[in-house]
C-alpha cells in the first residue's frame, strides 16, 4: 500500500493543470486495473480526465478524486516521505491515500458485481466537469461511499455544509487622484459598502434559518495605479450553509445587492455550488459501518459534521444515501503539515471491504 501511495503522490496532479491531471489519471488507471482486474473507462470532459469502473449493474458507488490543490513543483519542498508511521507529501491525505485504500479494499472482495468506482479530476475546484457524471451514477445506485479523508481522529463525515461562491464586480470611473478625484467614481469605496453588507446578510440568514451559515470575503482587488481613482473592483465570496433554506436565503440577499453610488455598476456572478449533505443521508450507512467495525473488533467509529464540502454533497443531493470520510486517517488537508497515519490504511481498507460485503 505504501508503494502504491508513493506512486500516486509523486505524480503531481494540480487541478488547474489539465495535462498533469491527465498524467495522474493514467497512473491511477494502471494501479486500479492491477488491483481490480479491469481497465477503467477514461472520460475527458472540458479537458479534465476522470475514470470510471463499472461491474455488472451498479448498486453502490465508490467515489474519490485524484486532483490536488498543490501547484506543480510542490514535491521539491514537500517530498513524499514515510517516517515513524507518518506519510507526507502533496495530496497524501486529500485524497490519494483514500484511493489506495479503496483499490486494496475492493481487491479483497470475492466479486465486484454491483460496484461503480468513479475517480474525478476536478473535485478541488468545484467538480464543474464531473458533477453530471457523479449525479448520474448516484441516481442509479442505492448508496454512495466517499473515500475522502476522515475527520479528526478518524471520524466519518456524516454531515457537510453546502457551498456557494460569488464574484462581485464593481464598475466605477477613473480620474486623477490628485487633480480631479471628484470626477471619478471610486469602485473600491462602492465595493467596501458591499463588503460590510455581508455581515448583515449573515445575521439575516441566521435569524431566518438558524445558526451555521458563514459568508467569508476572500480575494479582493481594486484599482490600477496609486494615483488613480479605481475604475474597477472585484470581490470573491465563499459561503457555507447548513441547509438548503439557508443556501437559498443567502442567494436571494446577495443577488439583491445594488450599487451604492448612483452611477456605479455592479455585476454579481456565481451561486450555489454544492448542496448540504444532511445527516439523515448518512444515518443508516453510519449505523451499518459501526456494526461492521464492532464485528471486526475495531475501535468504535465516530462521526463528525464538517464545514468542508465534497462530491458526497452531490450524491446526497440527488437522494442517494451517502457516507463520507471513509478514506485516510491523518490531518493537514491543503496545509503544509498534510500527513497520513500509515498504520490506519490497512484497517480502513478492511473496513471498506467488510462494509461492502454487509450491504444489501
Angle between helices 344-358 and 97-107 (to 10 degrees): 50
Single out the residue of 22, 29, 24 nearest to residue 9, CA to CA: 24
Catalytic status, residue 123: yes
Residue 103 contacts residue 4 (beta carbons within 8 Å): yes
Residue 239 contacts residue 161 (beta carbons within 8 Å): no
Catalytic status, residue 67: yes
| Upstream peptide bond of 95 is cis (omega within 30 degrees of 0) | yes
Residue 210 contacts residue 242 (beta carbons within 8 Å): yes
* CA distance between the termini of the chain: 28
Quote the CA–CA distance of 189 and 170 in Å, as a whole number: 10
- Active-site option among 6, 12, 67, 190: 67
| Four-point Cα dihedral 201, 207, 211, 216, nearest 10 | 10
Quote the CA–CA distance of 200 and 234 in Å, as a whole number: 20
Question: What is the number of alpha carbons within 13 Å of residue 164 lying toward its C-beta?
Answer: 27
Q: Going by C-beta distance under 8 Å and a sequence separation of 6 or more, which residues neighbour residue 351?
A: 105, 289, 292, 293, 296, 298, 326
- Active-site option among 123, 124, 148, 324: 123
Residue 65 contacts residue 121 (beta carbons within 8 Å): yes
Residue 37 contacts residue 67 (beta carbons within 8 Å): no
Report, as residue numbers or ranges, the catalytic residues: 67, 123
Amino acid at each position: 500500500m505504501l508503494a502504491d501511495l508513493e506512486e500516486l503522490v509523486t505524480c503531481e496532479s494540480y487541478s488547474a493543470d489539465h495535462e498533469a491531471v491527465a498524467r495522474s489519471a493514467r497512473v491511477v488507471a494502471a494501479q486500479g486495473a492491477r488491483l481490480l482486474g479491469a481497465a477503467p473507462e477514461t472520460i475527458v470532459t472540458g479537458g479534465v480526465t476522470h475514470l470510471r469502473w463499472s461491474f455488472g449493474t451498479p448498486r453502490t458507488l465508490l467515489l474519490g478524486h485524484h486532483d490536488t490543490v498543490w501547484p506543480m513543483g510542490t514535491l521539491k519542498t514537500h517530498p513524499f516521505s514515510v517516517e515513524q508511521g507518518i506519510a507526507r507529501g502533496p495530496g497524501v491525505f486529500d485524497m490519494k491515500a483514500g484511493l489506495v485504500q479503496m483499490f486494496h479494499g475492493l481487491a479483497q472482495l470475492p466479486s465486484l458485481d454491483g460496484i461503480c468506482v468513479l475517480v474525478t479530476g476536478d473535485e478541488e475546484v468545484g467538480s464543474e466537469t464531473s458533477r453530471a457524471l457523479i449525479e448520474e451514477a448516484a441516481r442509479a445506485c442505492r448508496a454512495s461511499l466517499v473515500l475522502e479523508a476522515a475527520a479528526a481522529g478518524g471520524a466519518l463525515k456524516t454531515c457537510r455544509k453546502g457551498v456557494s461562491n460569488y464574484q462581485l464586480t464593481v464598475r466605477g470611473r477613473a480620474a486623477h487622484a490628485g487633480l480631479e478625484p471628484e470626477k471619478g467614481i471610486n469602485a473600491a469605496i462602492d465595493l467596501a459598502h458591499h463588503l460590510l453588507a455581508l455581515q448583515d446578510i449573515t445575521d439575516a440568514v441566521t435569524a431566518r434559518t438558524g445558526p451555521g451559515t458563514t459568508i467569508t470575503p476572500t480575494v479582493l482587488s481594486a484599482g490600477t495605479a496609486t494615483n488613480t481613482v479605481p475604475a474597477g473592483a472585484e470581490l470573491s465570496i465563499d459561503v457555507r450553509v447548513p441547509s438548503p433554506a439557508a443556501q437559498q436565503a443567502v442567494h436571494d440577499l446577495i443577488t439583491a445587492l445594488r450599487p451604492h453610488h448612483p452611477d456605479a455598476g455592479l455585476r454579481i456572478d456565481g451561486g450555489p455550488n454544492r448542496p448540504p449533505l444532511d445527516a439523515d443521508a448518512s444515518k443508516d450507512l453510519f449505523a451499518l459501518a459501526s456494526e461492521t467495525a464492532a464485528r471486526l473488533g475495531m475501535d468504535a467509529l465516530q462521526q463528525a459534521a464538517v464545514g468542508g464540502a465534497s462530491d458526497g454533497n452531490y450524491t446526497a443531493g440527488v437522494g442517494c444515501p451517502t457516507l463520507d470520510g471513509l478514506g485516510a486517517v491523518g490531518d493537514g488537508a491543503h496545509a503544509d503539515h498534510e500527513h497520513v497515519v500509515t498504520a490506519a490504511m490497512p484497517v480502513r481498507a478492511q473496513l471498506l471491504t467488510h462494509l461492502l460485503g454487509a450491504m444489501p
